[in-house]
Amino acid sequence: MQFTRFSRRGSRLALPAVLAAALTFGLGSTAHAAPDPIPSSFDFSDCPALPAGADPLFSHCFVAVVTSGKFQIGKFDQSIEKPMRITFAQTLNLDTFEFGTVFGKIAAESMLIQPGLFGDPLLSAVYAKPEYAGSFELPTSDDFRIRIGLKVRLINPFLGSNCTVGTNSNPIKLDLTTGTTNPPAPNTPISGSPATIVQTSPIEVRAAKHVDNSFAVPGAKGCVFGGGVADWLINQVGGFPSAAGKNTMIQNEYIAQKSYSEL
């Protein structure tokens, strides 16, 4: 969580002007064509509870819907074809003039990443589901970064229910940007797209593209009924651990927001 302290000087009547810039996730305003169909609705049900002292009028919940992109970790290279929803809040305490960030939830469906781990596509297909792994930050910058810790749950009857790539204590650490990356080799720089307005009614919606291809991926843990018996197999098949410069995340997304007084 990252906070910015503001001086108590000046009238609170000027506060909405400050918030207009500070509580919009640094989002731009120039309209442009949307890369994918805009979601027909945005689900704000996962908005996190406000911390003590946060003002509902000047605290906002954000819903980002990832509609397409790429998630390549190790040897697993998967196009994002099912929507993924990320919910978080930016808050303001009017007594301390401190801004805060609170994570809500990642809601994602499983994606097929390996059609047949043991050659049988019916029983041994492997699905992956990204999950939150305990860290989230919106650092102040011109490229609207999102730093988030993820783990990827691998789903297969032979792997048990605790098989993940990355854990809460050792997550995949993404540093997503709408600017240009500076990865180690063999990856080369890729660029995102700043958030811009694509819809104004019935709710304002912005489109953005976040990218990162500089992150490392740890090895698999807990595979085969929690005992970790097949960690070595998943690591061999998936190419884990995978060093920085060999992995890529691309998210084409739409972002909507509401103040907590509107929820």
Once rounded to an integer, what is the mean pLDDT over residues 99-116? 91
* pLDDT at residue 176, as a whole number: 97
Cα(230)–Cα(159) distance, integer angstroms: 7
Q: Residue 194's pLDDT band (boundaries 50, 70, 90)?
A: very high
Q: Which of 30-44, 102-116, 120-134 is predicted least confidently? A: 30-44
- Per-residue pLDDT at 12 exceeds 50: no
- Per-residue pLDDT at 168 exceeds 60: yes
Q: What percent of the chain has pLDDT over 70?
A: 83
Rg (CA), the chain: 20
Cα(117)–Cα(123) distance, integer angstroms: 9
The mean pLDDT value of the chain amounts to 86
Q: Residue 122's pLDDT band (boundaries 50, 70, 90)?
A: low
* Token pair for 223: 């595979």
Secondary structure element (H or E) that encloses residue 146, with its range: strand 146-155
Q: What angle do CA 142, 148, 153 make, to 5 degrees?
A: 150
* pLDDT at residue 21, as a whole number: 42
* pLDDT at residue 228, as a whole number: 78
The pTM (predicted TM-score) of the whole model is 0.86
Q: What is the pLDDT of residues 29-70, one digit of tens each?
A: 555 555 789 999 999 999 999 999 999 999 999 999 999 999
Query: Ramachandran region of residue 259, left (φ > 0), alpha (ψ -120 to 50) or beta?
Result: beta
